[in-house]
Every structure is written in structure tokens, then in C-alpha cells.
Amino acid sequence: MAEPHNNPSTTTTESFNTFFQNWISEQNNYLQQLVTASNNHKQNQNQNDQGLLAQLIKKVVQHYEQYYQEKSVWEKHDAISMLTPTWRSSLEDAFLWIGGWRPTLAIHLLYSKSGLQLEAKLGDLIRGISTGDLGDLSPSQIERIDCLHRKTIQEERVLTEKLAKLQESVADRSMVELSNAVSEMMRSEEDAGGESEEKVRRALELKNEDVEELLHMADELRLETLKALIEVLTPIQAVYFLIAAAELHLRLHDWGKKRLHGNSDKE
């Protein structure tokens, strides 16, 4: 795993990109383990199997935790760059919310996968045969998921408002005064690279701190939502959900890279 560097000259995005590529490779490995576990579960449903599923789910969740812990470290170096990650494609960028996936996306993903599995095994459910997958959510589970959905929407709105205020702050009084002062100095060719550069550096550092705080809050909500969903689900349902989450993430990443290369070839 890539280690953070204390050298200020280190390019944050390049360093985190190395970590991200390793992390996404590990995610693909975990996906294979999840698929194998779901296949084995169909043939071997016993208490020991439930324990193995729980262990695997714990490892996958820890893998997500590792990502956000490492991301938090790099955000202290350059949060503004982490808000628009260069290791993601333009396709992925189009669906980002405050530097990552929108927390409610996890819930929409669950409902989509539930609908697909329900359609596939509707005959069994009509005959009263429990499928045990996401197409077999109980009324109490649906109620808890709906409650989580409404709560997450509220928390997203709060952070979205904070993002809007942060974006508007680029044109606040202090920034306009600073941009005007620096422009005057440039026109008069005074203080070239001196006091004005120091003022700009301090102003951007404050903006970076605000971005870092917002990113941290958004990442916390993403991880909390993921964990809360898994708590609602049975072990095998959680496995199916984590499979769907990994597949969507990995395939979007792949499609984005192919689209980028395809556009480059046309130029």
C-alpha cells in the first residue's frame, strides 16, 4: 500500500493514484471471493457457512474503511485536488458528489438489485419458497431501509448546502479584495512574487481546510450509509449487495477508461 510522503514537493494526486490502483485491484479480488461465497451458499446452507459469510463481509467493509482512512490522510496534503480526483475518468466524474459517490446511491443500488432478483425468482416466492437473496426482503427490512433512505437524504442536503456556500465563498469580499490587490500589483509590476504571493497562499490554505472538512463529512456519511445497510441485511443478502456495489464501481471505472482511450484515438 502506498505510504503518505511528508515531502511537500510530492504530487498528492500521483501518490494517491498509486494507492487507488492497488486498492481497486484488491476490490476485484474481493469481488471474486464474494461471488464464490454466494455460489457456495446455494449448495451449503449451514451455521458454519453463515460464519464464513460474516467474516468475508467484515473484510470487505474493512477494505472500504482502509480507502477512506487513506483518503483522509491525503486530504490533509491537498484537499482541493482530492475533490476532483484525476485517477477517475470523466464518466465517473459526471456522477461524483463531493469527491465520491452519493450516499443515497447505495440505497438505490440495493433496490435495483432487489428488483432484479425478485423478477428472476418470482415463481419461487409465489409458491412460498424463500430465496434468501435481496429479492426476499422482509417488511421490517424494507421499513428500516426506507427510514435510512429518508435520513440520508436529509444529511446529503445539509452537505450540499455547505458545498454551495463553499463554492460561493470564492467570490466573497476577502477574495475579491485579494484578487484586486494582486492585479494592481501585477499592473504596476510591484511586489513581484513577494507579499502578494504569501497572501494568496494563506487564502488558498483556508479554502483547502474548508474543502478538507467537507470531504471528511461526506466520506463519513458514505461509510456510515454502507455499514447501516449491511446491518439491515442477512449475511447472504449483504454478500449480494456488496457484489452489486463492486461490480458497478469496477465496470464504471473500466467503461470510463475505455471511453477516454476511445476519444483519444479519434483525435
pLDDT tens profile 56-66: 999 999 999 99
- Distance between CA atoms of residues 172 and 176, nearest Å: 6
Rounded to whole angstroms, the Cα distance separating 241 from 57 reads: 10
- Residue 143 grid cell: 421499513
Structural domain includes residue 58 = yes
Percent of the chain surpassing pLDDT 90 = 52
pLDDT average, residue stretch 184-205: 69
Distance CA 213, CA 218 (A): 9
The model's pTM: 0.84
Q: pLDDT confidence of 7, banded at 50, 70, 90? A: very low
As a whole number of angstroms, the distance between CA 5 and CA 207 comes to 22
Would you place residue 265 in the very low, low, confident or very high pLDDT band (cuts 50, 70, 90)? low
6 lies in a domain? no
Using 50, 70 and 90 to split pLDDT, how confident is the model at 85? confident
In which domain, by residue range, is 195 found?
Answer: 14-266
User: Is residue 10 scored above 60 in pLDDT?
Assistant: no
R_g (Cα) of the chain, nearest Å:
23
Burial class (CB in 10 A: 0-12, 13-18, 19+), 42: exposed
214 pLDDT above the threshold of 50: yes
Q: What one-character DSSP code corresponds to residue 261?
A: H
Where would I find the H helices in 44-102? 47-83, 90-93
Could you report the per-residue pLDDT of 92-139, keeping only the tens digit for each?
988 999 999 999 999 999 999 999 988 877 666 666 666 688 988 999
Q: Which three cell numbers stand for residue 184?
A: 494592481
* In-domain check, residue 46: yes
Q: Give the Cα separation of 205 and 209 in Å (integer).
A: 6
Which secondary-structure segment (H or E) carries 187? helix 173-188
Residue 1 belongs to some domain of the structure: no
* Least trusted range by pLDDT, from 14-18, 198-202, 233-237, 262-266: 262-266
Q: Is residue 5 part of a domain?
A: no
Does 205 fall in a domain?
Answer: yes
pLDDT in tens, 161-193: 999 999 888 887 777 877 777 777 777 766 555
**Residue scoring higher pLDDT (10 or 152):** 152
Q: Among candidates 266, 253, 255, which has minimal Cα distance to 27?
A: 253
Into how many domains does the chain fold?
Answer: 1
pLDDT value, residue 86: 79
Instruction: Please report the pLDDT score of residue 1 as a whole number.
Output: 39
Is residue 8 situated within a structural domain?
A: no
pLDDT tens, residue by residue, 15-58: 888 999 999 999 999 999 999 999 988 766 665 678 899 999 99
What per-residue confidence (pLDDT) applies to 178?
77
Q: What confidence score (pLDDT) does residue 6 get?
A: 44
- Assess whether pLDDT exceeds 50 at residue 3: no
- Cβ-contact 97, 262 below 8 angstroms: no
Sign of CA pseudo-dihedral 109, 240, 28, 152: positive
Looking at the domain assignment, is residue 90 inside a domain? yes
